[in-house]
Amino acid sequence: MTTENLIWLIPLPPLLAFFLIILFTNRNKALSHSIAVGSALLSWLGSMIVFIQALRVHELGSHPFASSIDWIPTADTWLKIGILVDPFTTVTLFFVAWTVLMIFLYSVGYHNFGQPKGDHDVPGLPPHGATVDEHGHKHHVPSIEPMYSRFFAFIGLFAFGMYTLVVSDNLLTLFVGWEIMGLCSYLLIGFWYAKESARDAAIKAFMTTRVGDVFMLLGIAFLYSATGTLSYREIFTEEVLHTLATVPTGVFGLTAAGLIGLLLFIGAVGKSAQFPLHVWLPDAMEGPTPVSAMIHAATMVSAGVYMVIRMFPLISAGWLEGQPLNPTMTVIAFIGAFTALFAATIAVAQNDIKRVLAYSTISQLGYMMAALGIGAYVAASFHLVTHAFFKALLFLGSGSVIHGMEHGVLHTGEHVDPQNMFNMGGLRKKMPITFWTFLIGGFALSGFPLITAGFWSKDEILADAFGHGQLPVFITLALAAFLTAFYTMRQITLTFLGEPRTKSAEHAQETKWTMTTPLVILSIFAIGYGWVGIPEQFPLLGAISSNWFHEFVGSTLAEIPEALEFSIIPLLTSLLVALGGLFFGWLAYRGIHTAEQDRLQIGVLKNKWYIDEIYNFLFIKPSIWFAEKFTYLFLDKGVIDGILHTFGRVTGTVGHALRNYIDKPVINEFFGDGSAHATQWFGRNLRPIQTGRIQQYMVLTLFFLFLVGGALLFFFRQIGLL
């Protein structure tokens, strides 16, 4: 089997798992998770084989693995769809395959496979624990999720969407994968559909990303009408890019390339939760934690960044290194940097362990967007990959923490929120594996020097920002990095360090191997992956390793971007902000025991800068008013139903009239009864002819004989026969 054929097959196992689970194995939990994890394993295997093959190809950027088929006939050409694996796709496939597999494995333990069914568990609500009788006294233990198989089916479909998006070679199938993931995010965020907050969050996620998707579709349509194709390789040619970059569109003075790039970027703003369409991501924490990991680290938000990186040649068409940025890139850089700082400020005031990570994701995605905005292609790709690993690690770790806390809650019977960090503390002793892996992830997020992957990728972005002279972006990102380190350390201190603050925290327990194994594996990547991207000019270490990542991924573009001159200032800045943030975070929170003592719980920050309330006032309420008052009451009930009722009444009247004036008197009486009466009358009056007297019969016969004979004679004489 050729590598191309293998690439075609990679997205299919999870799709097959989805259908099998939905149609056949829904009742059998063990079989369902086996099918799901098995399919993730198959896709992982395919991706690893492709990865290895890709590494062996010389100059993969100019000779990517590609294959396409004719799909939709359009006049004299075909719209082609297919697969494309160039260097950037290779590294993306790598992290997608690993994180997806880890999350699938993690879900087995997260949903408490092997535990008994809960006492009052209903499908649609999170499981609440079961009571078991052990050694004569009752234990509350965690119970298995009632909708276990359904979860695996949904994440299977999700994985299919992501793989399709990654391996596709054209915007159409990318969009297909994009939308499939949008659907699955709706299904999975609202997984516990009996909770109203989960339902609302699912709708919010879908609606918000939809706003972005509309603009993206406009961009795709514009691109197709301008170039007649949606395939990357056909668009990213010199002539096409040059044409698009020079044709003005008249909208905001943008060129065609700029406008398309901007429209596509808006789609990414929705999908990757950048300001102003970021509001769905924190609420999406309503879903089970593996979902949060999947959506917010490995796949869906990465898809937005992936698409922007993919479209980089288009976005940066006409721009050369060293020149001022074109309008689209300026917008991207601005929104990216702003979002990075904005989300970081909110994260410092959040108490829910998952919310902190949610805002952290928004912030990090802002980093990547900012990097792309200033033209740092390789840096953005690098950060995408490393972020996927450590963010997935952090989310799965938080899930493990929550599980441990829930165990404690069930054990002690306390009614505390297992997700509130102020109810935790001291968990490093109770949950060591979780602690160490979470620490590694947190340090990677903060950019702890040298040993964590996050350091290398973040440092590269800062270096690029400084090196290209984009000082506003540089300063904003540095501030955001400081806050990132600060709130990460806050989170670690409150959760793991110190002493337990509640009884539940005292009775927390480490989680099963199906949950801790993925944590360990991901932490290996969170440490080691950074080393493939050490810049050549880095003091000491640069000499040991060549910057493989830069060469490899950079070759995706037509021209490999030059590695920057090494400058000490960004390095110092990043060391300062990372270590400084970690130190201050530890310092500030090691003595705090309750939420009231936290001086950073400022209203504005805690309430997310009131963005949700603003949207509610500006958009939601007017829409509801419009739907209710105008469309429903006036149009639907008043106008349309009015017309229908009038029709009904008119028809009724006409029917009545027809019945009473035509049907009854004419047809019934005249024709119906009338013919009967006439027949009767004739019969009664003709009957006496039959008198029984033959002589009368004979007279009549002769009489008529004369009549007929006379007529015949007369006529025959006329014709001349007689």
Partner 1 sequence: MTISQIIFLVVAGFTLASALMVVTTRNLIHAALFLVATLFGVAVVYAILQAGFLAVVQVVIYIGAIAILFIFAVMLTRRDMRDRGPQMNRMQWIGALLALLIFIGLSFLLSSWDGYSAVAQEMPVDFDTMGRLGEALVSPDAYLLPFEVASVLLLAALVGAVYVAYTRR
Partner 2 sequence: MIPISWYLTLSAALFSIGLFGVLTRRNAIAILLGIELMLNAVNVNLAAFWRYGDVNQITGQIFAIIVFAVAAAEVAVGLALVISVYRKKNTVIAEEIDLMKW
Least distance from C-beta 685 to partner 1, angstroms?
Answer: 20
Amino acid at 651: T
- Report the Cα 141 to chain-centroid distance in Å: 33
- Which residue lies nearer to partner 2 by CB, 668 or 696? 696
Least distance from C-beta 697 to partner 2, angstroms?
Answer: 10
Least distance from C-beta 708 to partner 1, angstroms?
Answer: 13
Question: Among partner 2, partner 1, none, what does residue 617 contact (CB within 5–8 Å per kind)?
Answer: none
Q: Per CB under 8 A, does 698 bind partner 2?
A: yes
**Two tokens, residue 595:** 């939420």
Footprint of partner 2 on residues 630-689 (CB under 8 A)?
687-688
- Which residue lies nearer to partner 1 by CB, 627 or 699? 699
∠ CA(466), CA(471), CA(476), 5° rounding? 100
- Which residue lies nearer to partner 2 by CB, 540 or 689? 689
Residue 70: φ, ψ to 5° = -75, 135
Closest CA to 586 of 439, 462, 452: 439
Task: Give the range of 27-35, 277-285, 645-653, 695-703 binding partner 1 by CB under 8 A.
Answer: 695-703
Residue 38: φ, ψ to 5° = -60, -40
Q: Per CB under 8 A, does 692 bind partner 2?
A: yes
Q: Per CB under 8 A, does 718 bind partner 1?
A: no
Q: Are 378 and 553 contacting, i.e. CB atoms less than 8 angstroms apart? A: yes
Least distance from C-beta 683 to partner 1, angstroms?
Answer: 25
Q: Are 56 and 48 contacting, i.e. CB atoms less than 8 angstroms apart? A: no
Only one residue has tokens 């927390």, namely 508
Closest CA to 509 of 102, 135, 139, 192: 139
Cα within 13 Å of Cα(359), Cβ side: 26
Dihedral angle sign, alpha carbons of residues 373, 376, 382, 387: negative
Per-residue binding letters, 405-424, with partner 2 (x by CB under 8 A)? --------------------
- Which residue lies nearer to partner 2 by CB, 607 or 701? 701
- Report the Cα 626 to chain-centroid distance in Å: 28
Q: How far apart are CA 128 and CA 117, in angstroms?
A: 10
Among 239, 690, 719, 720, binds partner 2 (CB under 8 A): 690
Q: Per CB under 8 A, does 691 bind partner 2?
A: yes
- Which residue lies nearer to partner 2 by CB, 697 or 715? 697
Among 695, 719, 720, 721, binds partner 2 (CB under 8 A): 695
Among 590, 696, 707, 715, binds partner 1 (CB under 8 A): 696
Least distance from C-beta 651 to partner 2, angstroms?
Answer: 51
Torsion from C-alpha of 154, 155, 161, 166, nearest 10 degrees: 180
Amino acid at 469: G
Least distance from C-beta 689 to partner 2, angstroms?
Answer: 8
Least distance from C-beta 687 to partner 1, angstroms?
Answer: 19
Task: Give the range of 221-229, 612-620, 627-635, 697-705 binding partner 1 by CB under 8 A.
Answer: 697-705
Residues facing 133 on adjacent strands: 138
Q: How far apart are CA 37 and CA 365, in angstroms?
A: 28
- Which residue lies nearer to partner 2 by CB, 539 or 692? 692
Least distance from C-beta 688 to partner 2, angstroms?
Answer: 7
Query: Hey, is 574 helix, strand or coil?
Result: helix
Among 24, 583, 706, 715, binds partner 1 (CB under 8 A): 706
Please give the span between the terminal C-alpha atoms of the chain, in angstroms, as a whole number. Answer: 104
Q: Are 416 and 350 contacting, i.e. CB atoms less than 8 angstroms apart? A: no
Q: How far apart are CA 397 and CA 242, in angstroms?
A: 47
Least distance from C-beta 696 to partner 1, angstroms?
Answer: 7
Task: Give the range of 461-469, 506-514, 694-702, 709-717 binding partner 2 by CB under 8 A.
Answer: 694-702
Binding residues vs partner 1 (CB under 8 A):
695-696, 699, 702-703, 706, 709
Binding residues vs partner 2 (CB under 8 A):
687-688, 690-695, 698-699, 702
